[in-house]
Structure 1
């Protein structure tokens, strides 16, 4: 069983297990009708928060703006979310299944070569960042404002690494941490480039970037698959 290091923070970090679990607020036991109401309110606040953040930006938007957009109350908001950073993080958590599926495709290559990796980057990775640009931008702002969100982001990175498990099969015992770190650096490097390029709008020539990334990922995945040397 794979285990991953979790950094210390002011609050516990929730692991992602294939379904978004919500936020730091834990819903008390309730009957099915009340549970449905709770989930519907939760999703309504998330949907309205995405609209507010997309319109005003992370820093200008307030909890009051989100509450007003949801036709709710502060009391209800705080029953679901701790603060603005928490709901921004929760919005990003909603896209984690799509992110997991994206990285999971790496293990479906009929063979590891540059052509397959480049196609994966072009058809799955870049569209992911373009589709979820609002959520990705929000979580980057929230990380800067809240160390707890930053710790959660680290855990999300490790969940992406989890999708590369077949490539880490040889990294066991004393080499396990080295393998995890290599894979995490590969994921984080891709994330930062896509964030500045596709979310923040730094100009790059698409074909050139795809070529460079394909070369990098083929090389590093091959290293991971071969296992530690010596």
Structure 2
């Protein structure tokens, strides 16, 4: 699940300057998260982030294109954790509906709650910047690739079909969790877990079986 990186690229520096660059980059990300959590994405400004970081606009723009870009970079920090979650489901010796339900309950839903600030910010950023939306779709595909052990039978002309099916499964879960756990649309947790477990278990079985012949 490789991040699609920001347009800002660190120029070649000696080791000390490179460390300074990385520390400044991280400071802006940490402060951006705090500002987005306090003010919300729409009300937050680059000036708010710069002030929180005790930095300058020139330094900000040396690292990020704009507010949407820093929101995207902030979300990219969650990608390793997201990848680990999807890999976990491939480690079941033999998937069952009960194991899938437990995975959803213990790992997936917790991820969305823990990273709600990052998720909220990047969803707003997608609406403001088409390039962030494009990056987001690549993140979805990257997550789907973690499920590759389930679609190894999809080869040749069917390989893209298998990946697309897995991507749609991830995208459906991502959209539901955003509206439910981040935006606060009410759902009965146990009922929703039952529905998601049915959908995921059925689709994982179909993916593993390979394309219909």
The two structures have a TM-score, normalised by structure 1, of: 0.91
> Counterpart in 1 of 2:70?
87
Deviation at 1:23, TM superposition (A): 2.3
What are structure 2's unaligned runs of at least 5 residues? none
Q: Does 1:67 align with 2:63?
A: no
Aligned mates of 1:46, 1:201 — CA distance in 2: 25
Deviation at 1:168, TM superposition (A): 1.4
> Counterpart in 2 of 1:154?
137
For residues 60-119 of structure 1, what are the alpha-carbon distances to aligned partners after superposition, in whole Å with 9 as ceiling and x for unaligned? 110011001100001000000000000000000000000000001011112110111001
Aligned mates of 1:221, 1:112 — CA distance in 2: 8
Deviation at 1:22, TM superposition (A): 5.3
> Counterpart in 1 of 2:159?
176
Aligned mates of 1:205, 1:214 — CA distance in 2: 14
> Counterpart in 1 of 2:179?
196
For residues 124-182 of structure 1, what are the alpha-carbon distances to aligned partners after superposition, in whole Å with 9 as ceiling and x for unaligned? 00000000000001110000000000000000001001100111101111111211111
Deviation at 1:21, TM superposition (A): 7.6
Q: Does 1:39 align with 2:22?
A: yes
> Which of 114, 118, 127 is the matching residue for 2:101?
118
> Counterpart in 2 of 1:207?
190
Corresponding pairs, count: 213
The two structures have a TM-score, normalised by structure 2, of: 0.98
More helix, by proportion? 2
Q: Is the 8 A contact 2:4 2:135 kept in 1?
A: no
